[in-house]
Amino acid sequence: MKKRTFFTLIILVALATTVNAQEDAGVTDRKHQLGIRISSQDPVINNSISYKYFFNSSTAAEALFSFSDPVALGLLIEKHKPFGPSGLSWFWGAGAYVGFGGGRNFGAQGVVGLDFLFPTLPVNLSVDWKPELNIAKQFSFEPAAVGFSARFAF
């Protein structure tokens, strides 16, 4: 009986430690996020595969691979700040992109949005506005670049 009680106590302590460690886990424990970004068709970087990497709790790099026409690659450096409930942050950043097909595209992009990382699920959701300044092919500004992203966080 004493062995069973001791064994049960050891298991309970181990479970409590594991649960406590998971509650303390923040965005720095889930540095990688991979998913999709759905947006309006007007910008060069529109519907895309999104990979975000957090250098620390407030700085991230996001790579975007747009598979529409034209095929394009983009990179954003983002600053995240906590906002409201746990897991919610707002972010802003800037970067560049290059497009291929139908002539070369090159330009700058900015981003501002809201980001939510579920505390108990490996899911990240965000909504953003990402205007683009096209420099090569034709000089133009594309303000209609609102998007929604869903990512797996690991």
CATH of residue 106's domain is: 2.40.160.20
Q: Is the pTM of this model over 0.85?
A: no
pLDDT > 90? residue 13: no
Distance CA(99)–CA(69), nearest Å, equals 9
By the 8 A CB rule, do 112 and 126 touch?
A: no
Mean pLDDT over 94-117 rounds to: 93
pLDDT for the residue numbered 28:
56
The DSSP call for residue 86 is T
From the list 94, 104, 99, the residue with the least C-alpha distance to 68 is 99
- Those residues whose C-beta lies under 8 Å from the C-beta of residue 86, and which sit 6 or more positions away, are 119
Host domain of residue 149: 29-153
> Is residue 6 in some structural domain?
no
pLDDT > 90? residue 17: no
pLDDT > 50? residue 43: yes
Q: What is the mean pLDDT of the chain?
A: 86
